[in-house]
Structure 1
Amino acid sequence: MNQWPAASIGQVHRAVTKDGLEVVMKIQYPGVADSIESDIENVKLLLTYTNLIPEKLYIDNAMKVAKEELSRECDYTLEAKNQKRFRSLLANTKGFYIPIVVDDLSSRRVLTTELVPGVPVDKVALLDQATRNYVGEKLLELTLRELFIFRFMQTDPNWSNFLYDDVVKSINLIDFGAARDFPKHFVDDYLRMVVACANGDREAVIEMSRRLGFLTGMESEVMLEAHVQAGFVVGLPFAKHGGYDFRSTNITQSISNLGATMLRHRLTPPPEEVYSLHRKLSGSFLACIKLGAVVPCRELLLQVYENHRFGEDSDEILSRSSFS
Structure 2
Amino acid sequence: MRERGRTRRLMGLGARTGGALLKTRLGGQADWRALGEALFEGLSELKGPAMKLAQITSQWDDLLPPDLAEELSRLQRQAEPMPWPRIHEALVLQYGELDRHFSDIEERPFASASMGQVHRAVTHTGETVVLKVQYPGLAEVLESDLKQVKRIMGLGRWFKVPQARLDALFEELAASLREELDYQAEAAALARYRERYAHRDDIVIPEPLAELSGAHVLAMRYVAGTPLRELETADDATRQKVAATLADWITLELFTHHEIHADPHAGNFAADDHGRLVIYDLGAVIAVPEERLHAMMALLEATLDQDPVAMDTALLAMGGRQGVGAPLALYREAAQSVAPLFAPGKQDFGDVRVHRRLRELTPKVWAAMDRLQPPAGTLLLSRALNGHYWNLVRLQARLDMASRTAPLLAWSHGKRHA
TM-score (norm 2): 0.66
- Per-residue CA deviations over 1:65-111 (Å, capped at 9, x if unaligned) read 22111111111111112222222333333421111111111122111
Q: Report if aligned partners of 1:237, 1:244 keep a CA contact under 8 Å in 2.
A: yes
Find the residue that maps to 1:27 and give its secondary structure. strand
Shift in Å, 1:278: 1.7
Shift in Å, 1:41: 1.6
Q: CA separation in 2, counterparts of 1:94 and 1:300?
A: 21
Instruction: Find 1:113's aligned residue among 220, 224, 227.
Output: 220
* Residue 56 (1) aligns with residue 158 (2): no
- Per-residue CA deviations over 1:141-191 (Å, capped at 9, x if unaligned) read 2222222222111111111111111x3220110111111101111112212
Amino acid at match of 1:257: E
* Residue 244 (1) aligns with residue 347 (2): yes
| Alpha-carbon RMSD | 2.7
User: Cα distance 1:144–1:101, how it changes in 2: closer, same or farther (>3 A)?
Assistant: same
Find the residue that maps to 1:125 and give its secondary structure. helix
Shift in Å, 1:25: 0.9
Matched ranges for 1:154-173 at <5 A: 154-165=261-272, 167-173=273-279
Amino acid at match of 1:315: H
Q: Report if aligned partners of 1:129, 1:293 keep a CA contact under 8 Å in 2.
A: no
Q: Report if aligned partners of 1:144, 1:301 keep a CA contact under 8 Å in 2.
A: no
Give the structure, 1 or 2, with the largest relative contact order (CA under 8 Å, sep 6 or more). Answer: 1
* Residue 90 (1) aligns with residue 204 (2): no
User: Cα distance 1:89–1:188, how it changes in 2: closer, same or farther (>3 A)?
Assistant: farther
Query: What is aligned with 1:179?
Result: 285
Find the residue that maps to 1:197 and give its secondary structure. helix
Q: CA separation in 2, counterparts of 1:278 and 1:231?
A: 17
Query: What is aligned with 1:12?
Result: 118
Larger Rg belongs to: 2
Q: CA separation in 2, counterparts of 1:92 and 1:194?
A: 31
Q: Report if aligned partners of 2:203, 2:278 keep a CA contact under 8 Å in 1.
A: yes
Instruction: Find 1:137's aligned residue among 234, 244, 249.
Output: 244
Q: Report if aligned partners of 2:308, 2:331 keep a CA contact under 8 Å in 1.
A: no
Matched ranges for 1:288-299 at <5 A: 288-299=392-403
Greater helix percent: which structure? 2
Matched ranges for 1:36-51 at <5 A: 36-45=142-151, 48=154
Instruction: Find 1:73's aligned residue among 180, 183, 188.
Output: 180
Query: What is aligned with 2:363?
Result: 260
Amino acid at match of 1:150: H
Find the residue that maps to 2:361 and give its secondary structure. helix
Instruction: Find 1:194's aligned residue among 288, 300, 303.
Output: 300
Q: CA separation in 1, counterparts of 2:217 and 2:116?
A: 9
TM-score (norm 1): 0.84
User: Cα distance 1:232–1:275, how it changes in 2: closer, same or farther (>3 A)?
Assistant: farther
Q: Report if aligned partners of 2:308, 2:328 keep a CA contact under 8 Å in 1.
A: no
- Per-residue CA deviations over 1:294-317 (Å, capped at 9, x if unaligned) read 1222222235456x5x5996225x
Find the residue that maps to 1:16 and give its secondary structure. strand
Amino acid at match of 1:56: V
- Per-residue CA deviations over 1:7-52 (Å, capped at 9, x if unaligned) read 3222322123344432111121222123222112224435657x89
In percent, how many aligned pairs have the same letter? 26
Find the residue that maps to 1:247 and give its secondary structure. coil
Matched ranges for 1:218-233 at <5 A: 218-221=323-326, 223-233=327-337
Q: CA separation in 1, counterparts of 2:161 and 2:289?
A: 26
Q: CA separation in 2, counterparts of 1:273 and 1:46?
A: 19
Q: Report if aligned partners of 1:98, 1:174 keep a CA contact under 8 Å in 2.
A: yes
Amino acid at match of 1:97: V
Q: Report if aligned partners of 2:263, 2:284 keep a CA contact under 8 Å in 1.
A: yes
Q: Report if aligned partners of 1:56, 1:264 keep a CA contact under 8 Å in 2.
A: no
* Structure 2: stretches of 5+ with no match in the other structure: 1-104
* Structure 1: stretches of 5+ with no match in the other structure: 317-324
